[in-house]
Structure formats: C-alpha cells, structure tokens
Structure 1
Amino acid sequence: MNMKKIASVVLALALSVSVFAACGSNGNSSASSTASTESSTASTDSSTASTDSSAAATGDKIDVLNQSETMDVSVAVMTGFTAADSRVQKELEEKYNVKFNLVVLPGWADGQSQISLLMASNDMPNIMWWWTMDTEYNKWVKAGLLDDVSAYMDKYTVIRDYYNKMDPKTLFYASEADGSIYRIPGDVAEPSCENLWIRQDWLDNLNLKAPTTIEELNEVLRAFTEDDPDGNGQNDTYGLGGDGYDFRSFWPWIQSYDQTHYSRFCVDDNGVVTYGPANEGTKNWVSDVADLYAKGYITPNITQDTDRDEQMANGGFGVTYSWCAWNNPDSAPMMSFYASNPDAKWVPIDMVKGSNGNPQEDPATSAAWAYFAITNTASDPERLYATWDDMCDSDNYIARRFGIEGTDYKYDENGQYVAIVGPDSEENTSKNIGLKLFDNLMNRKDECNISNTPETTALFNKSGENSRYAAAHLVEWKDPASFESWTECSADIEAEKDQYLWGVIAGQESIDDWDNYVATLNSLGLEDVLAEANEDYAELSAQMEEYLAAHGEA
C-alpha cells in the first residue's frame, strides 16, 4: 500500500495526520502522521511499568557484539520485508547472537485489531509495532506492559542523537510528563515531503509555461483537459489527478487561504485555536475545487477510494500533488509510469501563489506516525534496546535497508546510489534477501537514505523550508486520547465533515449550505471541543517551551 493509502487509513482512525513518513524513499511513505499520545493518563505511576530502566544509567554498557548467550526476540512487523529467515535476518542474528521471530500483522485493515489481541494475550511480542491507537497505548502503559527506555536512550545514544538532530520535538511527543519514554518513534516524515508535479511534455505540446499562480494553474488544468495535450485526437485527458478520497490532492487550493486545513486544528498568531475544516478558508477552497470538478478538469473518480499510483501508467492527467521521492530514479510509481509512457516527463515545480500570496507546502508533523516499544515479555530489555540502537547506526542501517555494496547496490560515476537489487523489487522477495527488514521500526531520513539523489535531497529541503509558516499555524496535539471532548465527538464531526465537503466537491451538496454545515458540527459538539482545545493548547505550548529549553532546539 502506498503512503497516500496509509494516510487515508490514519485519517479515518486518528485525530490528525501527517505525512507519513518513510517519505524519503520511493514515495511509499510519510508523511503524515498522526499526533502522538502523552502522559497525563499514561504515566500515573511509574511503578506500574514493567522494567525501570533508570538502573541502566549507572551500569556498564552492554557489548552487543560479544554476547555468549543467544537471545530470542519476537518482533511485530507489517511493513517492509516480512518473510522469515531472510539473508539480512540471518546476518543480524549472527552479528548480535539473537534469534528473531517475526510476528507478521495482517495489514492495514485488520492490523490494529491483531495488535490489540496480541497485547492482551500470553503471546505478546518482545517488540510491538503500532500506528495511532492512542487510547490503547495509554492503557498498555498503565497496565505495565511497556518498558520505559528513557535511561537506555541516554546510555545507548544512536536513536536519541538521530531524533534530536532531525527535530527535538519528535522525542517530546514520544515522552511522558515525567520524562519516561515507553514508545520509540518508528517513522517520522521530513518537515514536508510532497510538492506539485506537472507533465512538462504536455506543457511543451501546448506551448505553456509552468504556472506560478493559482489562476495560471486553473488555466493549465483547463488546457490539459480540453486542448488534447497528448495529441492523440481523443477527449481522454484531465488536468488534475490524485488519490481518491484524500483531500491532500487539493493542497494547491487549500494553501491559497489562511487558517484552513482538511483535518487539523489551526492556530492564529494570537494563539486562538479553531477547527480548520470549519473555517472560512475551507469554504473558499472547497468551492474552488468544486468548480474545477464540475467543469471536468479533475479525474472523476477522485471522489472515490481510488489509487493514483495505479492510474498514473494510463497517462490520463497532467498535474498532481505528491511525494518528493518521485524524483529518485528508482521511484516505483515513476518507473511504472515511464514503462508505459517513455516519451512523457513529470517534473516538480514550485507551489503556486494563491489568494493569501504566501505559497506553502503541506507540513508533516514532528511526531511519528508509527511507534514501537519493548514489552514486559523481553528477557533482557536493556540488551534488546542496545542491540536495536546499534542496528540503527548509520552503516548498520544502510546494510539493513539497502544491503551490501557491490552485491545489492553500487555507486555510479557521480557517486549516486544505483540498486542492483531494489529494496522493493521482486528479486528481493523471491530470493528472500530481506532488504527493508524492520521497516518503520526506526527509519532514518538523513544521509543514511542513500537512495535520495542530491536533487531529491534539495527538493525535500526546499519543500520543508516552504512549509514552516503553515506548520506554525497548525496544531499538533501531544495527547489526543486525553482530549476528552474530541475523543467523544470526533467520529461524528469528522464523518459529517467528510460527507459534506466531499459532497460539495462532487456536486451532491451545495456550498450555499455552509452555515448549516457549521451549525451541524457545533450541534455535534464542536463548540465544546474548541473550548477544551484552547485550554489544552496553552498548556501544550508551555510544556513544549519547557522541554525545548531543557533539550535544546535543532
């Protein structure tokens, strides 16, 4: 499943999204992520946690490379490589004298149910992986099912140093009020990992320039729909395509207005929190998109649950908002597209300027969208953490994800990574090589992601820089599970929001009913939600300020 589909699942299950994450590799990831959960209900009594890792701070470091006793380790996995006894698994087992048992979760539809069953069973894995599940996480901590790894992090520092280098707020969102850490960020998106893409060959065929304003983009959509950009004489092209039932497909129009979002809470310069989908800016961008959809400039099935990557090879649309990692030569969606359209050319362009005059990319969250934890079934939690920390060291991470230089990959004359066996290739699976083993159980987005070309790295950096104003005006909750009014009302509010906004875009609802829509949200509890949200945000801001003062800001 591609990352847009992951985001759709997260949108249905959680308070807020991000981009999920492993956004830095082949477009099969992040960004988004939901906000993580906090401590207030989880860390009521540290004595209920399984093992107190504070004792680890005073002892000698464990030499994980010279252990005489084999340690059995069961690990819950769902993404990446999941077959047992791969080459990479055996290499790790020999290196650390461990024996891994992969507990494979069933998939996005049923994975969380299986996680809950495992956490309530006598077969709980030594390492559990999950995404969202904020309420369940708090219960696991209170029941003492997870180990506090904060002292391990101070002693074995690869994971902590990495996250502090990338964004110290990531560990803030993972930590509890008392400083304990029961869950380790598994995958965190770049600050922003998407940008606007356009068919350059279609622009050239129609003698058009890349748009720089939302008005110019609208005209390009018209031309790509009506002026036969592929020159086949058929009326078979559209301007905009995207993942179905995913509002992020419309980001160029969303970012045209201030104080708006498709799912998240907004905050103004005075610290006042509002619900983005109920703000006036949302009325504006939904109206804009509905007009384009009614004119036929957007693929009709975007209002349904369709997969953009599967549609791309058909070559039927010329603009989309998607992953920076598409710029890599080994990007699976682009490789599939060019196999069917060898003369075509997708290129990334700068975000267009909208009504607010401040072009912005869609910001990801600082919190991870997925976590993993050491459970109380681990026979030696310190050794297990120390082993995992070493596995995340730069050289070890590259070997686990990309394999052996000269065997699985090489560098070309420009020093750029070239896959011999791609991590997402059929050969990796059929030969049971195991590249991307333990994917999303600590992904690195720095120089260890060797598949990013320098141009792609620059694209990520630019997207991140061009998302900071938007990020500063969106709320990232630390403890959605303790946001009581939202927990109670969110399902009804989000269902109404999705039904109405998609209905307007599809032409089944009227934008003239906007006031009734907002009134309905209020009747479902939004007014109470916002009252609590403003109280919580003030407290959250104070906690963040205190944490960053203690840990430093990158």
Structure 2
Amino acid sequence: MKTKKFLTVLVVSAMSAALFAGCGKPENEEGSPDNKDSGKPVTINIVQPNVGRKFLDGMDENNNPYQKYINENTNLNVHVVYPPSDGYQDKLNVILSSGEDNDMIYTQDASWFINMINQKALQPLDKAIEQFGPDLKKSLPQEAWDAVTINGEIYAIPSVTHINGNDIMYVRQDWLAKLGLQPPKTLDEYVKVIRAFVEQDPDGNGQHDTIGLLIGENLARTAPFFGAFGVPLIGNSAVNQWVERDGVLINSSILPETKEALAFLAELYKNKLIDPEWALNKNKNIEEKIASGKAGLFSATWFDTRGPILTNQTNDANAKWTALEYPAGKDGQSGIASSSMVTGYSIVPAKSKHVNEVVKMFNFANGKGHEPIKFGLPEHQISSRESGKLVMNFEEHNKHVYRNNILDYSAPWDKEVDMERLDALGPEYKLRDNVTAMSNALIKNQYTGPTTQSMGKNGVQLTKLMQETFTKMIMGNTPIDEFDNYVTQWKSMGGEEITKEVNEAFKSAN
C-alpha cells in the first residue's frame, strides 16, 4: 500500500555553498560508510523544519516510538535537528556555518537546490540508491526522479504530491447570515463582504476589531486574488510560474495583469480592508487569528478545516465555516497557481560520509516501514479496516501525528490511497472536497521542465525582489506605476537569462 505526505512544509531560501565548509566528518568509528550490519548503529544527522509536530509528554523528535522503530530496523541512530519553522533559513544558515555535522538537509527551494549543485556542494545519490534504495526508487514516479536528475545524476530524494495547489477560499457563514450577505463569487462581491466584516461588527462585541481579508507575509494566501486577473502567482517564487503569450513563455510576475492585481490589493489595503499586520503575518499568526475568531475570510490550505478552522469552531459554538467559489475577475477569470509534483528536496552535503545511511533510512520508510509509520504501530491502534474501508481513530491519530517525521519528506506515490486516507480523517472536514476544488481550478503552468541553471543562480534574488517590491506596492510605499521599473530590474537581475533558457526548453519540447 502506498501513500504520500500530508503536511506542508515551509520554504527554504538560498544559502552559500561556503556554509558547508565545516560540515564534513571523519570516518565514523561506529560503522563504515555503508553501515554494515556488524558493529554499532551509525549516527546520521538530518535537518528538517518542524511543521507543527507535537510530542507526548516525555517524548521529542529523537525520543519516540516511531523514531525507535526506524532506528531498530535500519541499524541507524537518526538524529533529527529542528530549526524553528519561522525563520527556518536563518537558523539553518547558523547551523551550517557553525561547523556541525549534517548528513541530510531538506529544502523546498528549487533554485537553492540547483545553485548548490552548480557549486558542487551536494553529492550524487545514484550509487547509494542503486545499492540501498530499491523500495525507495520504485515508490516514486519517474517524473519525480527526472526533476532531481541533473547532468545525468540524481542529487536529491524528492518529496512528491498529487495535490497541485494549496489555496481554497473559506468564509464565516454565520457572519454572512448575521449581516444578511450572500456568499461572494465575483471580486466586487468579495470586496462587499470584506468591507462588511470590517465595518459592521460581525462578532457582535461592539468593537471594530475584526479583520476583513487575512493574508500573510511575502504574499502568502493571495493566489486566488491574482488568479482573478488570470495570473498564476506563488509568493515564495518569482521564477516557477509561466504563461504563454503568442507562442512565447512569460514569467507570471512581470505580466501587465499582475500590475492590475497589485493595484486591486493596494486599494483594499488603503481602505483598511486587509489585516493591517499582514506583511508580518507568519503562518502561525494567521492560524491564531482564525482560531481566535478575529477573521472571517481567508484563503485556507486544504487541511485548515482540521486546523485553525476546527479550533475556532471548538472555541465558538456559533462559528460556521463554508468553502467559497474562487473570486472571479471582470472577464470571469478565476483560479490558483498550480504547484509541481515535486514539493521538496532531501539532499546530502558533499562532505557527508553517510550517504548510504541516508538512503537506507528513506528506503525503509518508503518500503517495509511505510504502513506501520503512516497508519500507526499496532500497539497504538490508530487505524483499522472495517468491511474493507479505512477507519482512523482520531484521538490516537492526533496523539501520534509526529510519527510522519520521515514520511513528511519522502513518501510513496498513490493517489487512490491518499484520497482514502483523507476520507478516513473525517468526511466532515471536507478534505477530499477541498482537494478536488483546487484541482479543478488550477491555472496551468506552461513550463514543466527542470529547474534551469539560471534559476539556481538567480532565482533567490528574484524572489526577494518580487516579494519586497510587491509588498511595498500593496502597502502604498511604492507607487503601482513603478511596476515597469520592477520588470526592467527583474530582467537585468537574471530574469532575461532565465526566460531565454525556459523558452529554449519549451520550444525543444514542442
């Protein structure tokens, strides 16, 4: 039985290859590089973001039944390093520059991944996978392996998903009813609802303290509003979304329609209809504002119905949330940017001595250990089958959600089982409905080829340029008319080179 990861992870920015300089380690005295069965377990250090995992009393990321299960079945001592999820990259840079040993590092940043290969900071994994990763190799589709194969060599273990979007609009239905409003469909109707949530005291506390539209830093949770202008835009990357215009691919962040979308958001902010703290809102802040009942409309992740939305409904018996249609623009356009099948990269620094052990860990988690980890060890009674249908014990599942520590970063590909698991987690949370709605609203990315060398070289600085410029434009600190200057700067900072590479690949593929 195969499945996939179900938690999202945060984006990692660029780092210098020089940071790996102190990451080498001498031959481990406890075992050889191939971790022969004789001898003591070999310790490997893996660096990951903690995506909200909670452990039972007396447990942590390195002391729990599932980590013990992996260690005992692989003759390894897997030591997990959790930099805080907020500011993950900053903490990661500190860890690497400190000279600590690291054998595996997880990132979602494709540009960084390619840049590290260009700087020879990573080691290829082909030999290790061939010898120690047969279950791992066959558990993932070839398309995923192709995405991490550069110059004929595999440089990462990919994490994959068939859920190719991450935005679904949700609204407080009880607030709509109280104010006599209908669920919005068009941009104009959305603005009407957002304004009412700000000005008409929907929570009834006699204060003007409710948020109209809740979004986050670096354009988080804004994809549906760019989609209303026909723009597929993901705030954490300025180089991953492309549209076709007259046979030529153009990056979505420099489209004229993107300027229109920014003007729309800037007008909302000017009129105090967007959370005034939006540019500082990390994911944790967004979840807290939803859970506390301060916001009534936002672009949710597909699993927020089991997260902050559920917490809000638990705290407030009157709170009722419902999914909305994506906002439609003046030409009836709507939708969200589509994401890649590959969502992240587990890489091995060039100086690590334990590439074989890293592959062994993933091979077990994607093979023999997969079902016991994903569906729970027998003693925890997390899942069972009744008349062939998967049933989850929610209390036990929630207690042991930490068990997916490894599978969050590489798990087998099986859409059918994934959907079955979503249903088993509770049809009342509408997880399958959310995923289906997103899948039906994707604005197709016209470039599906591999990350190019210029993306690796310039992608990080272009993303930073986009995030900073667009944030200033929405907040009114930079005039919208400066958009043309942004486009010129984007091209001169590597965007033109990336565009050339993308179009060459696009033409050769067609």
* Amino acid in the other structure paired with 1:479: T
User: Paired residue for 2:265?
Assistant: 289
Give, in angstroms, the shift of residue 463 of structure 1: 0.8
Indicate which of 393, 398, 403 corresponds to 1:435.
403
CA change 1:199–1:33 in 2 (3 A) is farther
1:242 matches 2:222: no
Give, in angstroms, the shift of residue 146 of structure 1: 1.9
Indicate which of 183, 202, 222 corresponds to 1:210.
183
Indicate if the aligned counterparts of 1:186 and 1:372 stay in contact, CA closer than 8 A.
no
User: Paired residue for 1:482?
Assistant: 454
1:89 matches 2:67: yes
User: Paired residue for 1:502?
Assistant: 471
User: Paired residue for 2:44?
Assistant: 74
SS at match of 2:369: helix
Indicate which of 237, 244, 253 corresponds to 1:268.
244
Indicate if the aligned counterparts of 1:239 and 1:318 stay in contact, CA closer than 8 A.
yes
* Amino acid in the other structure paired with 2:229: Y
Indicate if the aligned counterparts of 1:190 and 1:460 stay in contact, CA closer than 8 A.
yes
Answer with 184-193 or 211-220: which moved more: 184-193
Indicate if the aligned counterparts of 2:128 and 2:359 stay in contact, CA closer than 8 A.
no
Indicate if the aligned counterparts of 2:171 and 2:321 stay in contact, CA closer than 8 A.
yes
1:309 matches 2:276: no
User: Paired residue for 2:143?
Assistant: 169
- Whole-angstrom CA distance in 1 between matches of 2:456 and 2:12: 21
- Whole-angstrom CA distance in 2 between matches of 1:464 and 1:112: 33
User: Paired residue for 1:149?
Assistant: 126
Per-residue CA deviation, residues 2-38 of structure 1 (Å, 9 max, x unaligned), is xxxxxxxxxxxxxxxxxxxx9834xxx2587899xxx
CA change 1:482–1:104 in 2 (3 A) is same
SS at match of 1:320: strand
Answer with 251-260 or 526-535: which moved more: 526-535
Indicate which of 79, 86, 110 corresponds to 2:90.
110
User: Paired residue for 1:24?
Assistant: 6
Give, in angstroms, the shift of residue 176 of structure 1: 1.5
Indicate if the aligned counterparts of 1:259 and 1:268 stay in contact, CA closer than 8 A.
no
Per-residue CA deviation, residues 114-163 of structure 1 (Å, 9 max, x unaligned), is 56448xx5x64444434438557655687585243278369854434443
The two structures have a TM-score, normalised by structure 2, of 0.76
- Whole-angstrom CA distance in 2 between matches of 1:312 and 1:287: 26
- Whole-angstrom CA distance in 2 between matches of 1:464 and 1:308: 24
Give, in angstroms, the shift of residue 106 of structure 1: 6.3
Per-residue CA deviation, residues 231-280 of structure 1 (Å, 9 max, x unaligned), is 3343232321122x232433332111135635345331544233433321
CA change 1:462–1:246 in 2 (3 A) is same
* Aligned counterparts, 1:112-511, within 5 A: 112-114=92-94, 116-117=96-97, 124-132=101-109, 134=111, 139=116, 143=120, 146-149=123-126, 152=129, 156-164=133-141, 168-178=142-152, 180-186=153-159, 188=161, 190-243=163-216, 245-259=217-231, 261=233, 262=235, 263-264=238-239, 265-306=241-282, 307-327=285-305, 331-373=306-348, 377-378=352-353, 381=356, 385-393=359-367, 396-401=369-374, 403-405=376-378, 407=380, 409-410=382-383, 415-422=390-397, 435-438=403-406, 440-443=408-411, 446=415, 447=417, 450=421, 452-453=425-426, 455-467=430-442, 470-473=443-446, 475=447, 478-483=450-455, 486=458, 491=461, 494=463, 497-511=466-480
* Amino acid in the other structure paired with 2:42: D
Unmatched segments (≥5 aa) in structure 1: 1-21, 36-61, 546-554
- Whole-angstrom CA distance in 2 between matches of 1:172 and 1:196: 33
Answer with 401-410 or 182-191: which moved more: 401-410
Indicate if the aligned counterparts of 1:170 and 1:368 stay in contact, CA closer than 8 A.
no
Indicate if the aligned counterparts of 2:46 and 2:80 stay in contact, CA closer than 8 A.
yes
Indicate if the aligned counterparts of 1:74 and 1:101 stay in contact, CA closer than 8 A.
yes
* Amino acid in the other structure paired with 1:181: I
CA change 1:211–1:500 in 2 (3 A) is same
Indicate if the aligned counterparts of 2:12 and 2:107 stay in contact, CA closer than 8 A.
no
SS at match of 1:240: coil
Per-residue CA deviation, residues 331-372 of structure 1 (Å, 9 max, x unaligned), is 332343233223201222231322332321232223333323
Answer with 314-323 or 222-231: which moved more: 222-231
Give, in angstroms, the shift of residue 406 of structure 1: 5.9
- Whole-angstrom CA distance in 2 between matches of 1:248 and 1:521: 21
SS at match of 1:95: helix
The sequence identity of aligned pairs, in percent, is 16
CA change 1:416–1:408 in 2 (3 A) is closer
* Amino acid in the other structure paired with 1:163: L
Indicate if the aligned counterparts of 1:70 and 1:99 stay in contact, CA closer than 8 A.
no
- Whole-angstrom CA distance in 1 between matches of 2:248 and 2:457: 17
The two structures have a TM-score, normalised by structure 1, of 0.71
Answer with 247-256 or 384-393: which moved more: 384-393
1:535 matches 2:500: yes
Aligned length: 464
Give, in angstroms, the shift of residue 185 of structure 1: 1.0
CA change 1:502–1:319 in 2 (3 A) is same
- Whole-angstrom CA distance in 1 between matches of 2:287 and 2:348: 32
- Whole-angstrom CA distance in 2 between matches of 1:388 and 1:256: 40
* Amino acid in the other structure paired with 1:540: A
- Whole-angstrom CA distance in 2 between matches of 1:162 and 1:269: 37
Give, in angstroms, the shift of residue 312 of structure 1: 1.6
Per-residue CA deviation, residues 273-294 of structure 1 (Å, 9 max, x unaligned), is 3343332111211111222222
Give, in angstroms, the shift of residue 398 of structure 1: 4.2
* Amino acid in the other structure paired with 1:436: N
Per-residue CA deviation, residues 208-227 of structure 1 (Å, 9 max, x unaligned), is 32222222222221222233
SS at match of 2:298: strand
